[in-house]
């Protein structure tokens, strides 16, 4: 009987530990704020994209394909809002969604260009990617352009 109680207690403890582990995992996947996405993903990725010159090797091209992919994923997150105080209100607006879509579409073109090793098409796509940054900032983050 004592043994059974010990087993039950152990089972409960194990259950508790697995629940709290799941809780931590969820927290790690929690949504970021728009500000954090901008400064930690979009800024470094677009800095890379706008600095493209003449990548030659697969590994060099991979850096530019990856940067474009980072912007695609960050753009989708931006489109869906975030954890900042105004993020979800902003993201409900049609102009916000349109600028996010333009940025995502441009990054998708850049990714295809990287896969095709076409530097001119890549640069063209990054030119299309810039106006939505500026237009969205004028509307939602005046002071920064």
Report the interface residues with ligand HEC, using CB under 6 A: 34-35, 38-39, 42-43, 46, 78, 84, 90, 96, 99-100, 103, 129, 132-133, 136-137, 140-141, 144
The smaller minimum CB distance to ligand HEC, of residues 18 and 145, is found at 145
The smaller minimum CB distance to ligand HEC, of residues 18 and 141, is found at 141
Rg, the chain, Cα only: 22
Q: How far is the CB of 8 from ligand HEC (least distance, A)?
A: 49
CA nearest to 132, candidates 122, 143, 140: 140
Q: How far is the CB of 40 from ligand HEC (least distance, A)?
A: 10
CA-to-CA dists, residue 37 to 32, 42, 43, 72, 84, angstroms: 7, 6, 8, 12, 11
The smaller minimum CB distance to ligand HEC, of residues 15 and 76, is found at 76
Q: How far is the CB of 142 from ligand HEC (least distance, A)?
A: 10
Contacts of 46 (CB under 8 A, 6+ apart): 67, 71, 126, 129, 133
Q: Is 17 helix (H, G, I), strand (E, B) or coil?
A: helix
The smaller minimum CB distance to ligand HEC, of residues 13 and 138, is found at 138
């Amino acid at each position: 009987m004592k043994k059974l109680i010990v087993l039950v207690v152990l089972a409960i403890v194990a259950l508790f530990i697995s629940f709290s582990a799941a809780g931590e995992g969820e927290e790690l996947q929690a949504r970021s704020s728009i500000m954090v996405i901008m400064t930690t993903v979009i800024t470094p990725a677009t800095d890379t994209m706008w600095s493209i010159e003449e990548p030659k090797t697969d590994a060099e091209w991979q850096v530019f394909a990856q940067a474009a992919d980072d912007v695609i994923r960050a753009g989708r997150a931006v489109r869906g809002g975030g954890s900042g105080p105004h993020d979800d209100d902003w993201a409900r607006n049609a102009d916000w969604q349109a600028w996010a879509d333009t940025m995502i579409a441009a990054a998708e073109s850049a990714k295809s260009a990287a896969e095709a090793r076409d530097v001119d098409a890549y640069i063209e796509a990054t030119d299309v990617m810039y106006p939505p940054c500026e237009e969205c900032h004028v509307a939602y983050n005046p002071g920064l352009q």
